[in-house]
Amino acid sequence: MDPLTALLAIMVFIAAWYTAAGLIFRKVNPKVAGSCGCRVVKFAGDPSSLYVDLECPEGKVGVFIRRAPWDNPFNLMFFYAVGRSTYVVTRFAAPLDLGVMDAARRGKGKRVGSFYVVNTSTPKEVLQQLLSWGEEVGTWRISTSGRAVQLMWRGNNCKKAVEATRSLMERFHHLLKNNTYID
């Protein structure tokens, strides 16, 4: 096989792969979005990721699911070759401004419990409570910016991540009802 024919064969293979993956995930994405546990407002996705807006009883939750990159065989091969992993990120609005904070299970920064914390302007008491809750629900990373709270889990279990996020949302509302130091 000459080089031009080989290149053409590779191009046809990748185009067929991409088309097939697109068609398959056009059917899979609505099912995955529906399995997250709350009412789906909207979703957008491709063979390697999915974003879902949910309306839960506790409030709105945004979910980003990063899957293995099924968009082409080379991305998929390199994804596993370099040891990447899938993850789920959820986002919700806290009922109060939490300042800015980023905490992860690995990395650099001040060690607080099982997290390394950097860039913190969050009040110490709120920070410790949030990290304690994050540890209880098994989150890998927690970031806040104002009222926005973003949580990250390894794996791609949307339902588990949304249930844990809803639990944290309930805890925030309970904390506000029972504390007098927050106006």
Q: What is the pLDDT of residues 136-154, one digit of tens each?
A: 999 999 999 999 999 999 9
Pairwise CA distance, residues 88 & 64, whole Å = 6
Torsion sign (Cα): 118, 124, 129, 135: positive
Per-residue pLDDT reduced to its tens digit, 67-110 = 999 988 999 999 999 999 999 999 999 888 888 889 998 888 88
Mean pLDDT (the chain) is 90
15: enclosing H helix or E strand = helix 3-34
pLDDT of residue 174: 82
pLDDT of residue 95: 86
183 lies in a domain? no
Which has the higher per-residue pLDDT, 71 or 177?
A: 71
Q: What integer is the mean pLDDT of 39-52? A: 95
Do residues 133 and 168 make contact, with C-beta atoms less than 8 angstroms apart? yes
pLDDT of residue 183: 45
Residue 181 has pLDDT above 90, yes or no: no
Rounded to whole angstroms, what are the CA distances from 81 to 21, 64, 77, 119? 20, 23, 6, 32
79 lies in a domain? yes
Name the percent of the chain lying above pLDDT 70: 97
pLDDT of residue 179: 66
Residue 31 has pLDDT above 70, yes or no: yes
43 lies in a domain? yes
Per-residue pLDDT reduced to its tens digit, 121-137 = 888 888 888 899 999 99
State how many domains the chain has: 1
Pairwise CA distance, residues 107 & 11, whole Å = 40
138 lies in a domain? yes
List the domain range (segments joined by +) for residue 155: 3-178
Do residues 21 and 70 make contact, with C-beta atoms less than 8 angstroms apart? yes
